[in-house]
Amino acid sequence: MPTAVVNYDGSITASPAQLVFPESVADIQAILRDPARYPSPVRAVGSYHSLTPCASSDGTMINMARMNRVLNIDAAAGTITAQAGIQFINASRELRKHDLQFMTNIEIGNMTLGSAACCHTKDALDGIEFGQVNSYLTSVKWVTPTGDLAEASEETSPGLLRMLRGSYGLAGVVYEVTFRIKPIEAIHLTYLPRPVDELTQEEVDQLMDTSEGLICWTVGRTAVFQQRTRVEDRNIFGGLLAAFRRRLWNHSGAYAGHLLESFVHNPEARDNLQQGLFQLDEFMYGTLRLFGGITILAPDKTIDYSKTKTSAKYAFTFWAFPRARWLSVLRDYLDFADQHHKVTGFRCNMPLGAYHIRRDTHSVLSYSHDEEIFSIDPIHAPVDLPAWQNFLRAFNEFSFQRGGIPLLNQSPFVERRHVEAAYGQRWHELSDWVAQQDPTGRMLNPYFAALLSKSAAQAQS
């Protein structure tokens, strides 16, 4: 009987005929070489935090949780080598023992390093250089769809590594990765609230050009720019401030939204209470600005969501936009969200996020390949899942019409027309490469079959 596998926020359930937990590379090879026992499609899965069915399969799902060891930390070379199933936060904890950190410390700590190597990620507060984790991948080893061993590295095969960074496991199962690392850093975060209607593009450009890292949180029609600066002093209260920040994201913010959605059924009363919560958010950001911000260690930005209660979980989506158009898109979005609420009664119950990511050509599917981007990230703690999903589909159309770029693991309900328009020739390049690497479609699930360019999808059918 198939086993139900549910993703982080409960929005996706997969029922694979086989759910397997390999403990060695040989185990993975045996799985891929035995399609009778382990039916296609074969998909590797980590923590299943993805908000799309990119890792789902009704055939075979390979859970990498038992291949979770750090193999080597080389401080002199500035690298960490680990098995693909280790979660980012656990690898980060091992690095901290050596006073080291990842180059990019993403918020979602339960992503595995295998996923980080070949899937989309985002981080703006460590984005001094690049905001995508796999840009710092220096080498990777994987088992091909036919069960053979393969590897790529920056030194020997940079072109192949570029493809692997955007492969989403469609070329096989990643089992070992090496990432660049550096000495641990203290960072200072400051907060600048600005009315959206008073912002100018010149002001936004200056913020992007003068910030080491930049996120914007929009509450109502107030944009709060969170800027990052490296500092030498490790604040003695940094641990407490980091714990407060983790509590906010790992419980309080989403819990309040869930509470309103679950127990306040009168639309007018719910809207009024929601507005009150947004005012509290504005007060918090204003207080942070008044006190000059907070100082924490960079790895403290990473949060462990593995024990988060259902009542405190949130979902999100992500579309990237060229930095020069972001302000106009933001204003359009706020009008769109107001109109959607007027028609449907739905409004996101958490602040809107936006990440500034610098230009980055390391991956074939880099969403900032051609230019710097600033994203629009609606965040919501859903109780009425159909209402949230209806909003997501409407937001996809909004973003598509404005030239947005979606992520394949963080933009639910993305379609082929979206990715072909967003990634252009690079999408066709990836599609053709996947067809060459896996001509029988051993790794190809329905999600990617519907997304790959038509010629490639037909070749594998």
- Please list the residue range(s) of the chain that carry CATH number 3.30.465.10: 70-183
355, burial (CB in 10 Å: exposed 0-12, middle 13-18, buried 19+): buried
DSSP state letters, 316-333? E--EEEEGGGHHHHHHHH
Measured N-to-C along each axis, helices 267-290 and 253-263 cross at an angle, to the nearest 10 degrees, of 170
**Res. 459: pLDDT tops 70:** no
pLDDT in tens, 139-192: 999 999 999 999 999 999 999 999 999 999 999 999 999 999 999 999 999 999
Cβ-Cβ contacts under 8 Å for 363 (sequence gap 6 or more) = 132, 134, 135, 162, 165, 166, 369
Please give the residue that has the higher pLDDT: either 71 or 235.
71
Residue 265's pLDDT is: 87
Residue 237's pLDDT is: 61
- β-partners of residue 139 are 153, 178
Q: Which residue has the tokens 């950190």?
A: 101
Residue 1's pLDDT is: 59
DSSP state letters, 61-92? EEE-TT---EEEEETTTTEEEEETTSBHHHHH
**Res. 94: pLDDT tops 60:** yes
One-letter amino acid identity for 225? F
Maximum average pLDDT range among 23-37, 116-130, 281-295: 23-37
Kindly state the average pLDDT of the residues 112-139.
93
Q: Which residue has the tokens 């192949």?
A: 160
> Band of the pLDDT at 406, cuts 50, 70, 90?
very high
Residue 236's pLDDT is: 55
- Please list the residue range(s) of the chain that carry CATH number 3.30.70.2520: 186-413
| Least confident range of 256-260, 366-370, 376-380, 410-414 | 256-260
355/341 Cα distance (integer angstroms): 24
Other beta carbons within 10 angstroms of residue 405's beta carbon come to 25
Tokens of 444: 């190809």
Q: What class, spelled out in words, does domain 186-413 have in CATH?
A: alpha beta
Residue 453's pLDDT is: 94
Residue 213's pLDDT is: 94
pLDDT in tens, 337-368: 999 999 999 999 999 999 999 999 999 999 99
Residue 234's pLDDT is: 72
> Band of the pLDDT at 243, cuts 50, 70, 90?
confident
**Res. 246: pLDDT tops 90:** no
pLDDT in tens, 279-330: 988 888 899 899 899 899 999 999 999 888 888 899 999 999 999 999 999 9
Kindly state the average pLDDT of the residues 112-120.
97
> Band of the pLDDT at 458, cuts 50, 70, 90?
low
Residue 212 half-sphere exposure toward CB, CA atoms < 13 A: 13
Mean pLDDT in the chain? Answer: 93
Measured N-to-C along each axis, helices 416-423 and 385-401 cross at an angle, to the nearest 10 degrees, of 40
**Res. 195: pLDDT tops 90:** yes
7/49 Cα distance (integer angstroms): 6
**Res. 457: pLDDT tops 80:** no
Domain made up of 70-183: CATH architecture: 2-Layer Sandwich (3.30)
How far CA 23 is from CA of 43, 66, 92, 387, in Å, comes to 16, 6, 22, 41
> Band of the pLDDT at 455, cuts 50, 70, 90?
low
Phi, psi angles (nearest 5°) of residue 100: -125, 165
> Band of the pLDDT at 461, cuts 50, 70, 90?
low
